[in-house]
Chain A
Amino acid sequence: MSSRAQPADPVAAAVAHAFRDERAIVLATLIRQAGDFQLAEDAVQDAFEAAVTQWRRDGIPANPGAWITTIARRRAIDRLRRNRSITDRAERLAELTRLGTDQEPSVDDESTIVDDRLRLIFTCCHPALDMSARVALTLRALGGLTTGEIARAFLVAEPTMGKRIVRAKRKIADAGIPYRVPADEELPDRLRGVLRVVYLIFNEGYAAAEGDSLVREELCDEAIRLGDLLCRLMPDDAEAWGLSALMLLHDARRAARVDAGGRYVALEAQDRSLWNQDRIRDGLAKLDRAVRLRRPGEYQLQAAITALQMQAPDEQSTDWAQIAELYGALVALNPSPVVELNRAVAVGLASGPEAGLEVLEPLLGEPGLERYQPLHAAHAELLSRAGDAAGAAGAYDRAIALTANAVERAELERRMGALG
């Protein structure tokens, strides 16, 4: 069950709706109150199962979120009574029982809810957890994906994914991973880690060619939702806005990046009428918001580059000088030969092939890039434009030899054949 289900009856629809909108909030608060991730998750699961039968019998409550909160808390008390292995069981029970007898506005104030969700995000993305566990836990606890859905998205067997999640929750409990927003001095590092997890989820859905495409779209949607949430929870963090913008701008081109035959279509060849204008508007607005915070970072720079490429009507009118400059800033922040190659291509388009070659040629000696096809293809292109047909033919040869994809190979061969 999740946001994707299209239930026929109103009760199932109300449960699905509550699941999507309320589950993470209820869970985040209950983990703090019960002091145990697994127990809280089980109790919330119990509450949703109870909702299916009770709402059908007694009608859908006026405030489904409050109903789920109350029942989940009661189930947590039941489970806590039965579970003798939790060390501070008595205090937890007293606290939960007290909360249950308070007169029920039960709706915590806004800042507590915000804090609880932040606690949950930082716990799920804690660096002491394995990266694959962080991704799975985040999708499950905050995205509301089932273990089965996560397993399908990452192409692993469901029991394997289940074990990974259970193990992560046990480590949170046993190792004492705290349920709190990190202290100021650790916050920047930890936040970067959280953004990395969200971007990884997005890329898993966006970049990989394998697997069920519907499930992969869900991953992109979940990552975008998480990005949105981080912006709302931490509105002063420029990189949260930058990441959100970057994901939206990439996702806007989702329909245009594969042709009818399922083949990848490069940005300059895409049918722009297929781009999602709402996503673009939203992405540009978020980028604008990020830039106004005046704290540049990797995600903002990548989003700005993507925005410039998308806003120009075609390759010729693209502001390559500006893009080259942004790539330069990106390399300065995080030196990477692949980013430097992108900079060489942009410089070549902005200031002519000779200038581009000057940036690219040092990369030919990089041991890690020897078999990197895009390097040789870009080298060939620049040499060809500089009028060195013989040099270009050699570089095309190397690029073609490294190309496994038939469409790409045909394109490279066509370009090589067109050399004067």
Chain B
Amino acid sequence: MSQYMLLVYEEEVEAAEQAEREKVTLALVELHRSLRDAGLLVGVRRLRSTESATSVRVRDGHTEIVDGPFAVTKERLAGYYVLECADLDEAIKQAERMPMADWATIEVRPVMPAAEWVNTARQAGVDVPDKAVEDLA
């Protein structure tokens, strides 16, 4: 068995269209459960929008913190971490510590908690059962 990372890229859309998209939540509950039951699922997380992103890099020993997502140029995604941090400052501190920060840019994106995912879908009018929290993420 090998591990593969599947990265979901999407265009961010207006609230109304996003509400429409939230309807897939129920299908995702099923999908994640079946992947988990089959022993295939290592981890799954939904991220909050890029509006809440912060980019961190270290150049000449000096940390640069910029509001917003990493603007893709010729760089490519090389890996990822999911860390448990008290707040954004701690996440930035961990990003600074990474030796790749000297040449790479590390985008810090907050993970959306499963409960909030359920709430978001409910606000979009999707009838999500409480126990979906366990399956979603």
Assembled-state Cα–Cα distance A133/B110 (Å): 20
Cβ 8 A contact of B87, one of A87, A171, A176, A189: A176
Q: Are A87 and B51 in contact, with the CB atoms below 8 A?
A: no
Instruction: Indicate with 1 or 0, residue by residue over B63-101, a CB within 8 angstroms of chain A CB atoms.
Output: 101011000000000000000011111011000000000
B28: interface (CB < 8 Å): no
CB A166 to nearest CB in B, in angstroms, measures 11
Q: Is B115 an interface residue (CB 8 A)?
A: yes
In the complex, what residues of A have CB within 8 A of residue B92's CB? Answer: 128
Contacts of B49 in A (CB 8 A): 174
Are B67 and A177 touching (Cβ within 8 A)?
Answer: no
Q: Does B123 belong to the interface (CB within 8 Å)?
A: yes
Instruction: Check if A178 sits within 8 Å of B86, measured CB to CB.
Output: yes
> A21 → chain B, closest Cβ, in Å?
31
Q: Is the CB of B51 within 8 A of A170?
A: yes
Secondary structure at the B interface, as helix, strand, loop or mixed, is mixed
Which size class do B's interface residues fall under?
20 to 34
Instruction: Assess whether A63 is interfacial by the CB under 8 Å rule.
Output: no
Query: What's the A-B contact tally at a CB cutoff of 8 Å?
Result: 52
- Interface residue? A129 (CB, 8 A): yes
Q: Which of B51, B53, B65, B88 contacts A176 (CB 8 A)?
A: B88
Contact of B116 among A85, A128, A177, A182 (CB under 8 A): A85
Residues of B within 8 A of A85 (CB): 116, 119, 123
Known: A170-B52, A171-B51. A129 touches B115 (CB 8 A): no
Please, how many angstroms separate the alpha-carbon atoms of A178 and B92 in the complex? 12
Contact partners of A189 in chain B: CB under 8 A: 63
Interface contact A87-B116, CB-CB below 8 Å: yes
Query: Given A85-B119, A170-B52, A174-B48, A130 and B88 touching (CB < 8 A)?
Result: no
Interface residues of A in 133-181 (CB under 8 A from B): 133, 167, 170-171, 174-178
Given A174-B51, A175-B54, A175-B88, A130-B119 contact (CB < 8 Å): no
Q: Does A127 contact B (CB under 8 A)?
A: yes
Q: Does A184 contact B (CB under 8 A)?
A: no
Q: Is the CB of A178 within 8 A of B87?
A: yes
- Given A87-B116, A175-B110, A177-B87: A129 touches B48 (CB 8 Å cut-off): no
A387 to chain B, nearest CB (A): 45
Q: Is the CB of A128 within 8 A of B119?
A: no
Residue ID in chain B nearest A175 by CB atoms: B52
B115-A167 in contact (CB<8A): no
Q: Are B67 and A133 in contact (CB under 8 A)?
A: yes
Closest to A189 in B: B63
A133 to B52, CA, bound (A): 13
Chain A residues within 8 Å of B108, by CB: 175
- Interface contact B110-A128, CB-CB below 8 Å: no
Q: Tell me whether A171 and B52 are in contact (CB under 8 A).
A: yes
* Closest partner residue, chain B, to A131 (CB atom): B67
CA distance A170 to B68 in the complex (A): 13
Tell whether, in the assembled complex, residue A174 and residue B67 are in contact, meaning their CB atoms are under 8 Å apart: no
User: Considering the complex, which residues of chain A in the window 114-134 have a beta carbon less than 8 Å from any beta carbon of chain B?
Assistant: 126-130, 133
- What per-residue 1/0 map shows which CB atoms of B1-45 lie under 8 Å from chain A? 000000000000000000000000000000000000000000000
Residue pairs across A and B with Cβ atoms less than 8 A apart, 24 shown, are A87-B113, A87-B116, A127-B65, A128-B65, A128-B67, A128-B92, A129-B67, A170-B51, A171-B51, A171-B67, A174-B49, A174-B52, A174-B110, A175-B48, A175-B52, A175-B53, A175-B88, A176-B85, A176-B87, A176-B110, A178-B86, A178-B89, A183-B89, A186-B89
Beyond A130-B67, A175-B48, A178-B89, 11 additional pairs, beta carbon < 8 A: A85-B116, A85-B123, A174-B52, A175-B108, A175-B110, A176-B91, A177-B87, A177-B88, A178-B86, A178-B88, A183-B89
Interface residues of A (CB under 8 A from B): 84-85, 87, 126-130, 133, 167, 170-171, 174-178, 182-183, 186, 189
